[in-house]
Amino acid sequence: MRNLVLTFVILGCLCGSGFAEEVKQLEGMSNGAKAALLYLPNRLMDFVDIFRLNVGVGEGWGANLRATNFLTGGVSDYDTIRFGMRGREMPRYEEAVDEECIGLFGLQIGKFDRDPYELAFTGHVAYAGLEAGLDLDEIVDFLLGLACVDYREDDMGPRVW
Ligand SMILES: [Ca+2]
Ligand SMILES: [Ca+2]
């Protein structure tokens, strides 16, 4: 029962300012117990990492399409406060983008600071924008995470493998 309560405390805190405080609550436990207790929170956060769905408010313009590094491109210049999720970055964060790029089969011309494994688009007109998509690399991390393999090294607590 204590572990169940602690799991819910951790889950409730995950969307806050960071994980250090939550993991600190587990001090004194063995690494095995920590890993077991953090298994579900880590799987939940790895699942959340997959998605991008947010709106941006702020001045600017632009559009881009990211179909991994094989086909990507866009031109954007905006400075926004974003609401929603970009993986576990939520519910509110700032994003300033000044980019222009075209890429094909991993070769890129121009400036583009995006995750190379995203299937996503972003559009921004005047004072509002939208981003939607998912990250293939995070899908791999989520699936491997089911077997306790932390491919993206973003899990909380001790490593199992
Ligand atoms: Ca992840
Ligand atoms: Ca992970």
- Based on the fold, state whether residues 8 and 45 are members of the same structural domain: yes
CA of 135 to the centre of ligand 1 (A): 10
7 and 80 fall within a common domain? no
- 11 and 79 in a single domain? The answer is no
Return the number of other C-beta atoms located less than 10 Å from residue 20's C-beta. Answer: 8
Average pLDDT, the chain: 88
- Encoding tokens for residue 86? 């970009």
Each residue's pLDDT tens digit, 14-49: 554 456 776 778 888 888 999 999 999 999 999 999
Q: Are residues 29 and 63 in the same domain?
A: no
Taking a C-beta distance cutoff of 8 angstroms, is the pair 155, 48 a contact?
A: no
Distance CA 81, CA 120 (A): 19
Q: How many domains does the chain have?
A: 2
Residue 85 included in any domain? yes
Residue 154 falls within a domain, yes or no?
A: no
Together in a domain, 75 and 11: no
Residue at 161 is within a domain: no
**Residue 62 shares a structural domain with residue 44:** no
Supply the range of the domain harboring residue 33: 2-50+138-145
Does 68 map to a domain? yes
The answer on 58 and 123 residing in a single domain is: yes
24 and 63 together in one domain: no
Residues 21 and 93 in one domain: no
Q: What is the number of the ligand closest to the CA of 150?
A: 2
Residue 104 Cα to ligand 1 middle (Å)? 26
Distance 103 CA to ligand 2 centre (A): 28
Give 51 Cα–ligand 2 centroid separation in angstroms.
Answer: 14
Give the DSSP per-residue string, 124-150.
EETTEEEEEEEEHHHHHHHHHHTTT--
- CA 11–ligand 1 middle distance (angstroms): 15
Task: Round to whole Å and give the CA distance between 110 and 104.
Answer: 12
The per-residue pLDDT for range 61-80, each reduced to its tens digit, is: 999 999 998 999 999 999 99
The pLDDT, as a whole number, for residue 21 is 72
